[in-house]
Amino acid sequence: MSLEIKVPPVGESITEVTLSSWIKKDGDQVAMDEVIAELESDKATFELTAEKAGTLKTIAAEGDTLAIGAVVASIEDGGAAEPAKEAAPAVEADKADESAPSAPAQVAEAAPAPAAATGSTLEIKVPAVGESITEVTLSRWIKKDGEAVTMDEAIAELESDKATFELTAEQAGTLKTLANEGDVLPIGALVASISGSGAAPAAQPAAAPTAAPAATAEVSKEKTYASGTPSPAAAKILAEKGVDAKGVAGSGVDGRITKEDAINAQKPAATPAPAAKPAAASAPAAAPAKAGERGERREKMSSLRKTVAKRLVAVKNETAMLTTFNEVDMSPIMEVRSKYKDKFKEKHGVGLGFMSFFTKAVTEALKEWPAVGARIDGEEVVYSNYADISIAVSAPKGLVVPVIRNADTLSLAEIEKEVVRLAVRARDGKLGIDEMSGGTFTITNGGVFGSMMSTPIINAPQSAILGMHNIIERPVAVSGQVVIRPMMYVALSYDHRIIDGRESVSFLVRVKQLLEDPTRLLLGV
């Protein structure tokens, strides 16, 4: 009896896919859940698996565009003999277990056999990491192919367009990698397999003392899986320097390489270079002549960078974006900071920055002009009675926007603590999906990089974003006199479809008033 294989539903908005390639060919024998083809939509690539064992008969050709539910192939009966083959090693394994008590010396020899058997192999697939995430990038293998892993040990790092995740081993055994670093994988795709069980690695230390004293010395020096493993931020720094992580000593928990370790690794990395050059000095005699040649370097765009690019272009194309400007006299806030910053830090353990004042001013202005914090959902406008403020942070892997929850209920000290916490997690690549979703309004500070004026792009599906810029002393007219004041340009980009000019300008003026008279933030007037 044959079974039809159809294009499965792969997303709510996806109506058709392209058959990009056949992994198994017509007439091949396939096993249950074995990948037989790759399907490609406008958003991601998916693997098509066999729903039973048998002989594959292909119906669609590579390059065909198929609707959801279309027949791709069929599987004819003929795979019944394969389970019998898989059962044989299991029987042999049972026999080995029965003979284990009487012959301990043979246990170590028989241990590799069950590890290689397909019956004891566990497939490791890309887990679901967020409702809107359909694919991830395999950024780095923490454990290499053929290495022994323990239960719940981190074996790889997966990177989505929003955050970095660790993939852990679901059982102990020997790792076999099936995907390469840099591969873009859909949710549910096969990444690796683990052969054997937790008993196999445990049997090796028991046999080691009888084998040789040198083996016991190696066991005693064993480190944890985190030893020598860099954090995402540290890995990026080491990659940019061209430094191998194996030569860097980690000072973090369980020997993990921290960002500081990677920064300090620059000097040791520079010392081997002169030693290597004399050894090869005879061959590259033409190297000095090539020093002035023009060159180019190509890098594959990260998943985060590609997603950011798509969203920014989509916002420009799908919204009626407009920007209004104003300027703020920062002298009142600067006076408050200079007067109370030491006492503030002593009491709250965090510095008093500008971001807390701007966040507080924005939350107060949103209460008066709720449309600025609204969003369009289909043919409806959604208004929020809370303020979740997104803060744009420049992280090593690209721009991320973590969210300060219920910012309207927080004090200046609580906002500052949350800003510091989110910024540190962003730069270390440890932000979770829940920390970057659901904002109602965004603040971005280009002034830290020296920007005088810009038109920030809306962070969809939000409808407005406030841009801060650098503070410059300029002559301004105050009460009929020209005085020098620290001034900052502020910009509000907004979606003109739901925010009118009156609302946007009034909102920005209200923010200006609150910043130029900080006591209003405390009195709520």
Phi, psi (rounded to 5 degrees) for 76? -85, 150
H/E stretch holding 47:
strand 45-49
The answer to whether the beta carbons of residues 59 and 74 sit under 8 Å apart is yes
Does 496 qualify as catalytic in the annotation?
yes
The answer to whether the beta carbons of residues 461 and 439 sit under 8 Å apart is no
The pairing of strands 190-195 and 398-400 is unpaired
**Best CA proximity match to 128, nearest among 160, 157, 176, 175:** 160
List the catalytic residue out of 77, 94, 254, 496.
Answer: 496
Cα dihedral across residues 33, 37, 39, 44: positive or negative? positive
- Is residue 312 classed exposed, middle or buried when 0-12, 13-18 and 19+ CB atoms within 10 A define those classes? middle
Phi, psi (rounded to 5 degrees) for 477? -90, 120
Number of neighbours of residue 276 by Cβ within 10 angstroms: 9
Phi, psi (rounded to 5 degrees) for 70? -70, 150
Phi, psi (rounded to 5 degrees) for 122? -110, 125
Encoded amino acid at 115, one letter: A
Phi, psi (rounded to 5 degrees) for 394? -85, 105
List the catalytic residue out of 183, 261, 500, 517.
Answer: 500
Q: CA-CA distance, 145 to 174, in Å (whole number)?
A: 8
Q: CA-CA distance, 357 to 257, in Å (whole number)?
A: 36
Cα dihedral across residues 410, 413, 416, 417: positive or negative? negative
Q: CA-CA distance, 100 to 207, in Å (whole number)?
A: 14
Number of neighbours of residue 382 by Cβ within 10 angstroms: 14
Q: CA-CA distance, 276 to 296, in Å (whole number)?
A: 25
Helices (H), 100-171: 105-110, 112-116
Cα dihedral across residues 89, 92, 98, 103: positive or negative? negative
Cα dihedral across residues 74, 77, 78, 81: positive or negative? positive
Phi, psi (rounded to 5 degrees) for 149? -125, 155
DSSP-assigned letter for residue 351: -
Does 33 qualify as catalytic in the annotation?
no
Q: CA-CA distance, 255 to 251, in Å (whole number)?
A: 5
Quote the tokens at residue 17.
Answer: 């896919």
Q: CA-CA distance, 164 to 508, in Å (whole number)?
A: 36
Q: Which residues does the annotation mark as catalytic?
A: 496, 500
